Structure 1
Amino acid sequence: MLVETRENTGLLEWIRRRRGADTDGLSRVHERMWAGLESLVPPEAERIRAASAADESVGGVVDDFLPPDLRIPSHDQVAGRMMPWSQPLVIEGELAVCTVCGAYRNWLVLSTRDEIWLRCRAGHQQHEPRLDTAWYNRHAKPADATHATFEDCLRHLGH
């Protein structure tokens, strides 16, 4: 680093002028190079433009979504979900028992309208307020089928 003194004042001024000249010259070179680059287009870009123009001229919009037989209904199109629960169900330290027949295993757990219902093998249903949709989502596996009616779903699950 140079410290400005009487002896080197001329040298420092020459360096400052030189830096300014180089900066201006570099700016002009940069602008010329940039202008030259703007006119250049890679060959891949022209090929992609031509292909997209050909697709648009055909006029058909390609539907890249799944075919209807492979789509699953969204959550707002489904009345509810259910899963089998074969082992005894313990909720907050208590064993869940059917209030009608006393069954305590082989439940169907139904989730509908933000409520959880338990259905025993005999077909008795009871609301379970201690469980919620978050509990159901944590324990449920991915759906393996969708059914048009409640009875079809019961048959599918063996009830």
Structure 2
Amino acid sequence: MFHRIRRRRAETNEMRRLHDEAWAQLEGLVPPEAERIPAEPQSCEPASVVDDFLPPELRIPSHDQLDGRMMPWPQPIVLDGDMIACAECSAYRDWLILSTRDQIWLRCRQGHQQQETRLDTAWYNRHAGPADATHATFEDCLRHLGH
């Protein structure tokens, strides 16, 4: 058994020696592609500046320019094994989820609102789809979402 280990070790040492010799021979060589590359880049004319931004009427505000965002949530919300229900009317589905100032608020169909501390902005961002509209007032947004 030990003779196999010695033989393998000798083969490995021989391969390492051959590799080191080949590497030493390549060390001083310059690849032919390097000779064709110019030493200094050629100056070219500057590219023309093009305004590729959307016109102002098609831009939507970024999340830091909004007072808040909201999305409909028709199914029940279950957190930590508990189904969330409205504290005033006991509704448990057809919520509007509002995200504002790093807080999550739930609004039932009757208009009752309650803060949900077990949800955060990261949860909202994972579950919210793209915004389809922006509104000037809270009431306009409620009308748009059918509440």
What's the TM-score, normalizing by structure 2?
Answer: 0.68
1:8-157, aligned counterparts within 5 Å? Answer: 49=45, 52=46, 62-157=50-145
Map of 1:9 onto structure 2: none
The C-alpha deviation readout for 1:55-110, integer Å capped at 9, x for no partner, is: 6xxxxx64221100111101111001101000111111101100011111000000
Q: When the two structures are aligned, how many residues end up with a matched partner?
A: 116
Unaligned runs of 5+ in 1: 1-22, 24-32, 56-60
- Give the aligned residue type for 1:128: E
- Give the aligned residue type for 1:153: C
Aligned mates of 1:150, 1:72 — CA distance in 2: 17
Task: Give percent identity, aligned residues only.
Answer: 71
> Which is helix-richer, 1 or 2?
1
The structure whose Rg is larger is 1
Unaligned runs of 5+ in 2: 1-27, 29-34
The C-alpha deviation readout for 1:38-64, integer Å capped at 9, x for no partner, is: 7xx6xxx7xx63xx59x6xxxxx6422
Aligned mates of 1:90, 1:130 — CA distance in 2: 11
Measured on the aligned residues, the alpha-carbon RMSD in Å equals 2.9
